[in-house]
Structure formats: structure tokens, C-alpha cells
A and B are shown apart, each in its own frame.
Chain A
Amino acid sequence: MPDTEPAEPKTEATAAAPVSGPGRYFVRFTREQRYMHAVLFTTFLGLAATGLPMRFSESFWARKFAAGVGGFGAILFFHKLCAIVLTIAFLIHVKEVFQRGLLRREKGIFWGSTSMVGNWKDVKDLLGHMRWFLGLGPKPQFERYAYWEKFDYWAVFWGMIVIGFSGYAMWFAPFFAHFLPGWALNAVLVIHSDEGLLAILFIFSIHFVNTHLRPDSFPMDMVIFTGVESEDEFKHKRPLEYKRMLAEGKAESRLGIAPPLWLLNFSKVVGSIAIFIGLTLLVLTLTAYFH
């Protein structure tokens, strides 16, 4: 989401948190943002699990799965259901960006160090990061959103528009035929299935590794579930944002409470299930693709 730091400080969190020391936790994502991610990955898993059997309908697992859930009719029903929920989530997000960025003219939505919009620093970070991979330079210092996180965001944003539009064009083909040429009805299936495949392959391999499975976050980055991260992790992963926060004197307002054990455990279970389903679908996709 193109958002700034949490707009309002969490009063209860501030009160309960220790003022200083190594045990401090800072808020990265608001509750709404975490819910949005939960809706996003739940519906995405649903769409992937019901979309892949259609894309690879000739494979043995697609038919087994279809038979298990009540055939194609059931699969398409769940696919459309997830699509509607995801569409609503997408519209809520767009509405929020519009309200905060254009109506309330909140700073840092469309440009600046807290924005999701790419800038020159991202290009430099990408090149610098690659140099660091090869041992040719220092590791770049990242701001609130690193370039690969912005790419994730825009990939999903573009993906939702493209997959959503092509999906609805198939769902309501006779209606869309009023203003689309005939061959476009053929094209929307190619677009829908290829873009969907790209999203699935990207999320279940690249996003999983970049965000959750890489050594810095292994086995899972809990911040999207708990909303907070430790000061050490914050400082290490996004030093520029950390320094800016201190310089602007906003450290106090961004303090959060250490995640309770139940939330950590709950998040671990949910996250592990999501990653397990994702990796299973990835393997099935690859077997069907290279069969």
C-alpha cells in the first residue's frame, strides 16, 4: 500500500512499551494494513488453488482436485467468490489512496521517502544491491520501502487490474463484447492465465524467498502479521527510515508493544499454512508446466 508510517500513534501501545532499551518494538504496519494483507493472501491462495486446475485441466491432480470438490462448477464458484472479495479489497485500497493522497493531501503518499512510487534512489539501490551481491560495494541503506517491495506492490497492483479486467471480461463476455473486438475475447484468456501464472510463480517463489525465507527473515517475516518489529531488526533492515524517525523525533509515537505469544504462534501457524499451500501449488504448477 502506498502509505506513510502509521498516521496515528497507538496510545495503548505507547503506554505499555518501555521507553528505551533493547526490547523496544516499533510499528510498521497498521491493523488495517495487516488485515488487507490477510485478505489478499487468503483470496490469492483461493484464486491460485482454483485457477491452476483450470489452467492445467488435463493434469491428473487437476481432475482429482475437481472431483474432490464437486467438479468444475464448484471450482469456478470459489474462483469467482475469491475474485469478488479481492476486488472489494482492491477498491477499498484505491479509495483509501485517493482519500489520503488527493482529498486530504497527506504527505508522502505519491512521492517522498515513504511513498510506494518508485524514485531515483530505487534505481541506485537496485544497482548497489547487485554490486553488493557480487562483493563489489557496500550494502545499500534502505528506506521504508525497498525497491523489491515496491516492485511487489506494483506487480500486485498491475496484476489485479490486468487479471481482474480479463477475468470479468470472460465472466461477462457478452457484455464486454459490446465494446471489445471479437479476438479480444480470445486474448483475455491468454492474458488472464499467463498473468495469473506469473503472479503465482512470482509470489510462491520470489516473494516467499525475498520476504520470508531469506536468511535475514527466515523462516518468516512476522511483521506483516504482528505489525511490529524489534528495534534491532528495524535498524538493520531499513537504517535510513530508522535514522529519519529519530531525526524527526517520531520514535515515541511509533513505539508498539511486543507481540503477545498467542499472536506470534497464531501468525506462525497461519503463515506456515499459507507458505505450505503456496509451495505445494508451485510444485504442482511446475510439474504440469514441464510435463
Chain B
Amino acid sequence: MALRAQADCLACHGDATMTDSAGHSTAVDGQKFSSSIHGSLQCTNCHADIKAYPHPDKIAPVDCTTCHADQAAQLKGSVHADTKEHPCTSCHGNAHEIFPKTDARSAVYPLNVPKTCGQCHGNNGMAGKHGLPSVYPNYIDSIHGFALSKEGLLVAANCQSCHGSHGILSHTNPQSPTYKSNIPKTCGTCHAKIEADYEQGVHGKAVAGGNLNAPVCSDCHTAHAILQPTESAFRMQSTPICGNCHKDKFSTYRDTFHSQLGSLGGYVETARCWDCHGAHDVRPASDPASPVNKANLVTTCGRCHAGANLSFVQYQPHANAHDRKLSPGLYYVRLFMNLLLASVLTFFMIHTILWLIRSRYSQVKSKSANGGKNA
């Protein structure tokens, strides 16, 4: 019997309980299939080696590349090249129920992408097996994840906005959109103005000049767990990130009230690096456009300190009390205070210990009338 129409196949495969000899389901939901993107195709278009009933003993797997050659070519060079581990259906879902990516029922509809990728790149998926970071929980709690899952924003960045879809490359591959020097451009696809600002700053120029030690977006914002930058958690975590490279500046910052205050939490308004230096277009202090340029200090400090004047901005946010040449006044003040502290405490410590010993000695020795209370 030759098979021509879907109806012929569905006569048997429409039975939802149908399985093959190995026990795998061979059932097809005819209604869903006909509404799917492939609904107008005949079964034999894909199952090309099945021409009649009874079927041949050995049936070749369906080859999507017959039609989708472009995608197949991209996939071939990607991290998902192994089609046994990553068949098309691992992302697109049930082969008989594939919908266009603009359809909310599609597994690759923007709002469904994170969940689809998360099947493997989550805590319990392939990520663990292959030693890859579990990125799904980070993403879903990020500002992008919230925009997508809470607000249903179709424009919110999902996995494939940054990583691509069929041709996903490792971040170590210079062609990858997540390769370090490509990240500003990748984020700039949506954050165009910030990318433009970034390119004007020392970090952007350094990266463009081939210095991959300079930070790109993800060094400060992280890749997946991106927080709203005004959020307290972000303000708390980010100063040490700048300190990874700017060690001396971070160390002197930590001696100041800004840092003491800021590191306690609950009061996030205190000045962090970028509040004074700018965030994306960080410029050298010699640049007139830098907020820490001498000419701009009154304005910059005045953003928090109402009434800041020229004398006020002489304050050194990175003073080093141990550097006599850089901050002589502060150096001697600290030296005096340290000596005062040490001498007073040392003298009285000795005085008190000797006193204690002597009083106890007299007390025990005299056994005075009031039960030895007053020696």
C-alpha cells in the first residue's frame, strides 16, 4: 500500500499510545502537526525512505539539512556541532510540533529561549556534566531575565541575542560575539549610546587598541547575572572589580570615609569609583571632559556634597597617610596620633598591671579587718 497523504499515516500514527518495537512513541498529534510550520508538508517529505506499508526494517533518521542547509552549515562550525548530542529537536522541540520563532508556542520564541537553553545550561543539565557554568539561574535573576520573564519584553536580551543561534562560537574564538573585544559591539546592538560613550573612554580605547586586559561591559556588569546598576547589590559588589586592576587606588580608597561607609551596606549612595570617574567613558584626570578634572571637581563633588567649594575639593579621595611626599600634612597627623595612642596605652598598661599585682599582694598579706576588701 503506497502512502500519499498525512491521513494515510495518521490512520495508524494518530493513536497516541502507538510505540515501535523498542517502546519509543511513534504517535503524532495530527492537529498540532497540521497547524505547525511544517503542517503543509507530507510525512514522506521528511521520512523519505518510508514509501509504503509495511515499512522497511531499517529507517534512516530524518535529515533536516535537506531543506535547512544554511542553518546546518552554521551549526557545523559551532559549539553544538555534534548532531548526536545536539539534534535540531533539542532546541526546536518535538519535530511534529515546530512553530515559527515569532509564535509564542515555539521553543525558540524570545520569551521561551532562556528556558529552552536552560534545559542544558542550568543546574541539572549538560552544563554540570561538561563543566560549563550554570548560567540559567544567573540569567533569569538578572535585569535582562526580569525584563523577559516578568515584563515579557520581546526586546530584552535573551541567550541568542548575544550568543547567536545556530552558529554559536566559544568566547575564546575571535569570531564570537562574546569574544572579549567584540563584547562592546554586541551589547551596543541594544545599548548604542553607552557603546559610543565607552569607545571614548580609556577602557574602550585600550580594548580597541588590542589591550585585552582593559575591561569590557561584562567585566563590570558580569555576563549573565547583570544587575540594575543603581541597585544596592551592584553598588556593593563593583568597587572591588575596579580594584582588581587599580590596586593602589582601591587600597587608598578603602582608607577613606567613602569606603568605610559604603562597605557596610544599606547606604548605597556613598561615592564608588564610577560616581566620580564616570562609568563608561572613564577619562584621565587631565582630560577636560573628565569629571575628576580640576575644573570639574566642584560640580562632581557637589553632586553629593551640597555647598562644595574650591577648598572642599582639595580633599584627596585617594590620600595615603603613609606617603610623606604625597600627603605630608596627613602623614604627620597620622604619625602623631599613632605615637599618642601607643605611648598612652603602653604607659598605662604597665602602670595598671603593676598596680594590680601590688594591690593583690597587699590585700592578701594584710588580711585587713574588712575581709581583705581594702588592701
Chain A 53-89 interface mask (CB, 8 Å, partner B; 1/0): 1110110001100110011111110000000000000
Chain B interface: which size bin? 35 or more
Query: How many angstroms from the CA of A206 to the CA of B351 in the assembled complex?
Result: 9
Within 8 A of A (CB), among B62-88: none
Say whether B358 contacts A71, CB under 8 Å: no
Say whether B256 contacts A189, CB under 8 Å: yes
Say whether B264 contacts A72, CB under 8 Å: yes
Contacts of A189 in B (CB 8 A): 256-257
Contacts of A190 in B (CB 8 A): 321, 330, 333-334, 337
Knowing A183-B314, A202-B345, the reply to whether A73 touches B355 (Cβ < 8 A) is no
Contacts of B370 in A (CB 8 A): 232
Q: How far is the CB of B272 from chain A (nearest CB, A)?
A: 13
Contacts of A132 in B (CB 8 A): 358
Chain B 309-350 interface mask (CB, 8 Å, partner A; 1/0): 101111110010100000101100110011011001100110
- The main secondary structure of chain A at its interface with chain B is helix
Say whether B309 contacts A178, CB under 8 Å: yes
Chain B 252-263 interface mask (CB, 8 Å, partner A; 1/0): 001011011111
Contacts of B259 in A (CB 8 A): 57
- The main secondary structure of chain B at its interface with chain A is helix
Within 8 A of A (CB), among B265-285: 265-267, 270
Say whether B357 contacts A202, CB under 8 Å: no
Q: A249 an interface residue at 8 Å Cβ cutoff?
A: no
Chain B 350-365 interface mask (CB, 8 Å, partner A; 1/0): 0110111111101100
Contacts of A157 in B (CB 8 A): none
Q: How far is the CB of B324 from chain A (nearest CB, A)?
A: 13
Contacts of B308 in A (CB 8 A): 174, 177
Question: Can you report 24 residue pairs joining A to B where beta carbons are below 8 Å apart?
Answer: A53-B264, A54-B264, A57-B263, A71-B264, A71-B266, A72-B265, A72-B270, A73-B266, A74-B266, A133-B351, A135-B358, A173-B305, A174-B305, A174-B312, A177-B315, A181-B311, A183-B316, A189-B257, A194-B338, A197-B341, A214-B352, A216-B363, A233-B374, A237-B374
Interface residues of A (CB under 8 A from B): 53-55, 57-58, 62-63, 66-67, 70-76, 129-130, 132-135, 139, 148, 155, 170, 173-175, 177-178, 180-187, 189-191, 194-195, 197-198, 201-202, 205-206, 209-210, 214-216, 232-233, 236-237
